[in-house]
Structures are given as C-alpha cells and as structure tokens.
Amino acid sequence: MAYDWDRLAPPRSLREFEAHWSRRGDPHSFSGVWRFHALLPFASREDCVTIGEGQTLLQRSDRIARYVGLNPGRLFLQYEGMNPSGSFKDNGMSAAFTHARLTEAKKAACASTGNTSASLALYCAVTRLMRAVIFVGSGKIAYGKLSQALDYGALTVQIAGDFDDAMRRVKEVSRTLGIYLVNSLNPFRLEGQKTIMFRVLEALGWEVPEWIIVPGGNLGNSSAFGKAFRELLELGLIPRAPRLAVINATGANTLYDLFENQGLRWNGGRPDPDLIRKYYEDMDRRGRRAETIASAIEINRPVNLTKCLQALDTCRGVVREVTDQEILDAKAQVGAGGLGCEPASAATVAGLKRLAAEGVVGPDERVVCILTGHQLKDPTATVAYHTTDQDMFDRVLGSRGVHRATFANRAVSVADDLNEIIRAIELYG
Ligand SMILES: *Cc1c(COP(=O)(O)O)cnc(C)c1O
C-alpha cells in the first residue's frame, strides 16, 4: 500500500503527535494506533475502528541487558502484551476492521496460531461489526489463546493439521464464501502494526535506536516495521533507519535458512523465485513440519516472506535462529526482570544474546526487543519450565529438545505444619 503523500497532510515533525496526549478523551487520540492516523491515512479518521489498542510500554531493563551482554541503559523491552487481547495483533486488527467496515463485510476469518484469532474474536465481540470464524490447527494452540476465542464467542474450527494447513484452508473458504480475511497477508493489518515502531520512537523521545529485534513467524510485524521506517525516511521525519534483527525458532527457520544460508535477498524487488520454490518443494518432499514451543512462530511458510526481505533491505537486517532451550531460558529472564512474555516473544532476547556474543550488536548500542505477547498466553510452557514434576517437564518440554530449566523457580513442598512452613521460608526466602 503506497500513499501519495503530496496529496495528504503528513506531519512535518514527529513531535506533532504529542498534541494527542492532551486529548485522550477522544477515542482516536487515546488509541495508540489512531493517534498516528496521519501516517496510515487509508480511511477517514472518523471511520477508524478502535477498542483502546496500543496502550503499551517501553520498559528499560538493565537485568536483561546484563543477561544478553549489553551495558546498563542500553536495552528496552517494548511490551505489546498490554493490548486489549494481550498481543501486538490488536494494532493490526483495528486497521483491518476499519477496512472491513468500509467493505460492509458480515463475517471475518483467520487461520491462527492463537493470537490473531483472540484479537479477531475480541474485536468482533466488542464492536459487533462482524461474526468471527477462526481456523486453528489441532492441538497447536496455547490454552490462554484458545480460551479467549471461546470466551469471546467466535466460531472456532479446529482443522486436523497444523498452522500451514489451516492457512491454506482459510484462504479457500474465504474465497468461496466471500468472508473477509484478516490474516497478516491482509495489507491493512501491516498498516496498523507500523504504529508499534512509532510508539517505540515516541518512548525514546523520537530518537532512533540502533537495533529493533522482533520474532519472525508469518513475518507481518517485521514487514510492517520496514515499511514504517521507509515511509518515515521518505517523509524526512527520521535521519536513518534502525537495524532490524528477525529471530526464528530453529524448528521453524525458513527465513533464516533462505536469507542467511542461501543468500536470498530483496534484490530491488526481484527476489529469486526459483530459490524459494525449490526450498518449499524440498520441504514438502521431506514432509518437514514446523516444530517449536514458541507456537506463535511455529510457521514454515511465512506469508509475508518477500515483504520481509524488503524490510531487511531497508534496515540492513540480519536473521538468527534460536533453540527452544534458549527461548525458555530467555523467557524466564524476562519474567524475572521484566513484565513477562510468552515463548515466541522471548526469542528476541535469546536472539539478541547470540548477536551480542557474535559482536554483531555492540554492548553500547541501543536495542529494543519487541515482546509480542502477554505472559499469561501460554501458562503450560511456563509451569512446565518451573515445575518439580519431571513427567510434566518431559511431556511438554523434553519432547522439544529442552533438557534443563536453567532459571527455574521451583515451588517448595511442605507439610501442612506451621513449623515446617516457617522453616521453609527461612531456608529459601
Ligand atoms: C503473531 C505473533 C508472532 C509472529 O509475528 P509475525 O508478524 O507473524 O512474524 C510473534 N509473537 C507473538 C506473540 C505473536 O502473536
């Protein structure tokens, strides 16, 4: 989606957005998406759908800086778990709903690893604009997310397959039944997700950090961030783009493999189609399936692959992969020294730790990790990590190659006896 800025009224300085802070009684100024309407002006301001998304926080964390090898004051966590449905997806959903309303759609659908469906279900429940139809892979969705879709009243279709299967089906069904599709191949979603970067800049006093680190699943977020910075550069509102690091899980590492191992590049808008085709043919031949505890990025066929290549081009990006072990250890660190997050979000911290060890990110560079989802989204993964129940640990994590809970905070078992309880607190407290 390209804007003809000459015919619009873009701001001359990012500071102009601060005027909205004094007008928080107006829902469009209160929204962390629509207060940046001038930078995503595809609909008139009055038509924009909001349920109060984007009230997020950029948290400085020296503890996690130390964990990854950065100096104090250099690491920030952009906590998107504060959105109404608990993940960054609400940024894009408010924009997709704005467009869907203009098309007068009656039903909206998505395939989801959980958070898109939670967001879609919530926007349907609150706005009553459409009926939500969500497709999930069987057994592949974290309980926090599934509970939201059910609670908010969405029609939930569980496909016998994984996310990539559900994605293929939802596209067919939407085409056949004329249902509005809100997956991140929907370009309006990406418009809304640009605002995550605007809020990061806002929280840093409009200074551009050296690095943005984001998990890579369907690659909607990374694509949106690249577009945000391209447009800010085009408008002369920032002097340079930050560098971008996209972090895959090793069990779902299509982008990493193609970009870092096989040299796939944006190439001025002509990424090598044969390289991509052969990669997927080979994947199908071997029957390879995405497999990671970080269910939100358990995706082998990212729909925004080429857009992400453009973002990597704009932001001199790098891609890394991290194991489930690294993800869960990083998640425990975020929980102990930040606001907490779900596994996919912690991939950013694990990826940054690698990049700092490699010397790609310097200890004095300013880095922002995007914590994409709330701590409560996937309680099973968290409890299994900290558990004293070896069977649970093996079932949930051992099967995924996680062998130790390096930073486990184990519950202490005591008899129902005052003296024993006091002794335990004195011993461990
Ligand atoms: C959707 C999601 C991701 C993946 O984002 P993409 O834009 O699909 O790359 C990562 N983390 C969480 C918590 C998510 O919900």
pLDDT tens-digit profile of 163-206?
878 888 999 999 999 899 998 789 999 999 999 999 999 999 99
Give me the amino acid identity at 375: Q
Ligand 1 centroid to Cα of residue 373, in Å, is 8
Cβ of 342 below 6 Å from ligand 1? yes
Q: From CA 327, how far away is CA 217, in angstroms rounded?
A: 14
State in Å: Cα 12 to ligand 1 middle: 32
The CA distance from 429 to 411, in Å, is 12
* pLDDT, one tens digit for every residue, the chain (429 residues): 899 999 998 999 999 999 999 999 999 999 999 999 999 999 999 999 999 999 999 999 999 999 999 999 999 999 999 999 999 999 999 999 999 999 999 999 999 889 999 999 999 999 999 999 999 888 778 899 999 999 999 999 988 888 878 888 999 999 999 899 998 789 999 999 999 999 999 999 999 999 999 999 999 999 999 999 999 999 999 999 999 999 999 999 999 999 999 999 999 999 999 999 999 999 999 999 999 999 999 999 999 999 999 999 999 999 999 999 999 999 999 999 989 999 999 999 999 999 999 999 999 999 999 999 999 999 999 999 999 999 999 999 998 889 999 999 999 999 999 999 999 999 988
Digit-coded pLDDT (tens) for 353-377: 999 999 999 999 999 999 999 999 9
Beta-carbon count within 10 A of 232 CB: 22
Give the separation between CA 162 and CA 356, rounded to whole angstroms: 34
Residue with CA closest to ligand 1 atom 8: 218
Nearest CA to ligand 1 atom 4: 217
Determine whether the shortest distance from the Cβ of 85 to ligand 1 is under 6 A.
no
